[in-house]
Structure 1
Amino acid sequence: MISVLIPIYNYNAVTLIAFILEQLQNTDIQFEIICINDASTKFSFENNELKKFKNTQLINLDKNIGRSKIRNLLVEKSAYNWLLFLDADVLPKEPTFIKKYIECIQKSEDKVFVGGIVYSKNKPEKDNMLRWVYGKKREEISVEKRNYKPYQYVSGANFLINKSIFNHIKFNEKINKYGYEDVLFVEELKIKNFKITQINNPVYHLGLETNSIFLAKTKEGIENLLRLNSSQILKGENLKLLRTFKILKTLKITWFFAEGYNVFHKYFENNLLGKTPSLFLLDIYKLTYLCFINTKYKSI
């Protein structure tokens, strides 16, 4: 009935799978758990323990194929019509996590359900503060607010989808760089009028990157956003960053913001890598960097 699909990259997924497996075994449904290790260099020994788990399959790849391809591959390997996608670095908040998703399947005619993401109330160490602050303020969203804009608050870290719907969309494998594959997937759902139902069934996001890694991945994602938009793959109508950039472009003042990155990026980074990062400065940093790389590479 349900296939739990978990891509793994450099993370110990044993605790998550054990937690999910215990919940699944307390139901009367058919299930499988499929994990694909995307050529990780860490935690291979620990994750190989998954081969001993009931109804659990671990596939180890020799070559990294990326976030879009691995999700499509997980679906290709799946046997059941309901697909529960979870990232390896999450942990369900409640022991009723699986039960709630099963109730959605049994009691609703909807085909796409998003459970949400939460973060620990305890502040992390200074080196992980930026990712935690961003998660608490931008990703930990109440179900009421998520249902007000259901297509805006979707993460591949925790969602349930019927295979028939997934096969109409799939993750775009042209995205071979980091970032925005989830946004494009949701954009396609919206274009094809597939309803998204937001529910209160969150997972804790545990895998907090260091400030420097998160900032580097943010910049990489912005570069990918520029490529995807310039090639007409991603419209990005739900992305405030892209909407603002297009306004600046229309006004022909992207050069001014690009110069702002040149002059002030060290100041921004000093704040963002410190113990009290400002999300306002992060937004300015992202916008000025987008203008900077647009001016530098003349991609649009």
Structure 2
Amino acid sequence: MKISVCIPIYNFDVRELVNDLKKQIQNNSIDAEIILIDDASDDAFKQINNELQNQVEKFVLLEKNVGRSKIRNLFLKYTDGDYLLFLDCDVKIDNKNFLTNYLQEIEENRDVEVVYGNFKIDSAYSKTLRNRYSVEKEIFSVERSSDFLLLKTVNFTIKRDVFEKFPFNEHLINYGYEDFVFAKTLEFGNVKFSAIQNPVIHIDDTSNEIFLNKTETAINSLFQLHQDSENRLFINDIKVYRFAKKIIKTGLKNVFLNFYNLAEKRIKKNLLSENPNLKYLDLFKLGLLLKKIKDQSQNLGSKIK
């Protein structure tokens, strides 16, 4: 059984990550390959990572940025492993048995086709809004689970033939919810899934301001999914989408938006502070989504008239 370690790169130094993986492959005589695809990073990062050209099986440089979904699907073209292990470029390995843990899970649970390994937060950035959100909303603490809602693309392995059948949705070009839609696609396809404790350390120094901008982009992606009736089945379990639907159904959309407009400055001020409140982040996302839905309704009304 061969495993392909797939690392999509964008503006990050992956030398330490690749070297740590290579040591584990060599020390444990693992049948594995490391494939890197750079999604049109800045020249400075291309130069930094260039020394890896002769240290991995393939290092592909894309001329144009293709986004988080399409780049992951591209690994099918450049790999030949029976399983594909996807790692975000901004992670560290701190467990010498990281790769063997995955291999053991695959060997002992042959019916499982997708395994998610979880992640931890680098303590240097633990107080930022981005990482507080991860700790409270994304990282799971149980030893094992089959809940697809836990799946994140930061660290998971998937059987090759399953990935060929259920690739990422390439219509989702921008940041946000591509992992959620991918997970729901697998779940609806009756794929066998397991989440285990085999975490990587996520190194995310995103400022609160940049994370708010990325959150707006994510809500735009969610709204894009909402506009396509075929995609709505995939997003019904997203918390902010569920709340938005309830508010609309009860006829309180305008009431909520009036309140939100009055409180928006205070909400943003808190989220940009050194002690952000995640409840305000929920309100921020809900307000953005309902505004987009309201604007769409008004535009449709104007067209009808």
Contact 1:255 1:292 in 2 (8 A): no
Matching residue's letter, 1:238: D
Superposed, which structure 2 residues align to 1:153-172 within 5 Å? 153-172=150-169
CA distance in 1, matches of 2:90, 2:260: 33
The SS at the match of 1:105 is helix
Instruction: Please list the CA deviations of residues 129-157 of structure 1 after superposition, one character each: whole Å capped at 9, or x if unmatched.
Output: 1112112212222134x61x611111101
1:114 corresponds to: 116
Tell whether 2:186 aligns with 1:189.
yes
Superposed, which structure 2 residues align to 1:1-300 within 5 Å? 1-41=2-42, 42-53=44-55, 55-109=56-110, 110-122=112-124, 129-144=128-143, 147=145, 150-232=147-229, 233-235=231-233, 236-298=235-297
RMSD: 1.7
Contact 2:175 2:217 in 1 (8 A): yes
Instruction: Please list the CA deviations of residues 212-250 of structure 1 after superposition, one character each: whole Å capped at 9, or x if unmatched.
Output: 111110111011101102203242132111111111111
Instruction: Please list the CA deviations of residues 99-135 of structure 1 after superposition, one character each: whole Å capped at 9, or x if unmatched.
Output: 10111222211111000011134555xxx71112112
Matching residue's letter, 2:252: I
CA distance in 2, matches of 1:38, 1:120: 24
The SS at the match of 2:149 is coil
The SS at the match of 1:23 is helix
Instruction: Please list the CA deviations of residues 142-192 of structure 1 after superposition, one character each: whole Å capped at 9, or x if unmatched.
Output: 134x61x61111110100110111111100111122211111111111111
Matching residue's letter, 1:59: V
The SS at the match of 2:181 is helix
Matching residue's letter, 2:156: F
The SS at the match of 1:5 is strand
Which deviates more, 218-227 or 55-64?
A: 55-64
CA distance in 1, matches of 2:123, 2:37: 31
CA distance in 2, matches of 1:259, 1:290: 14
CA distance in 2, matches of 1:28, 1:108: 21
Instruction: Please list the CA deviations of residues 77-114 of structure 1 after superposition, one character each: whole Å capped at 9, or x if unmatched.
Output: 11111000000001123111011011122221111100
Distance 1:35 1:229, change over 3 A: same
CA distance in 2, matches of 1:246, 1:205: 33
Structure 2 length as normaliser, TM-score? 0.91
Contact 1:118 1:139 in 2 (8 A): no
Contact 1:171 1:181 in 2 (8 A): yes
1:52 to partner: Cα distance = 2.6
Contact 1:71 1:171 in 2 (8 A): yes
Contact 2:122 2:204 in 1 (8 A): no
CA distance in 2, matches of 1:260, 1:52: 58
- Number of positions where the alignment pairs a residue of Structure 1 with one of Structure 2: 294
Contact 1:255 1:291 in 2 (8 A): no
1:210 to partner: Cα distance = 1.0
1:200 to partner: Cα distance = 0.8
1:48 to partner: Cα distance = 0.7
1:274 to partner: Cα distance = 0.5
The SS at the match of 1:84 is strand
Matching residue's letter, 2:119: I
Matching residue's letter, 2:295: K
The SS at the match of 1:187 is helix
In structure 1, the gaps of 5 or more residues are none
Structure 1 length as normaliser, TM-score? 0.93
Distance 1:227 1:123, change over 3 A: closer
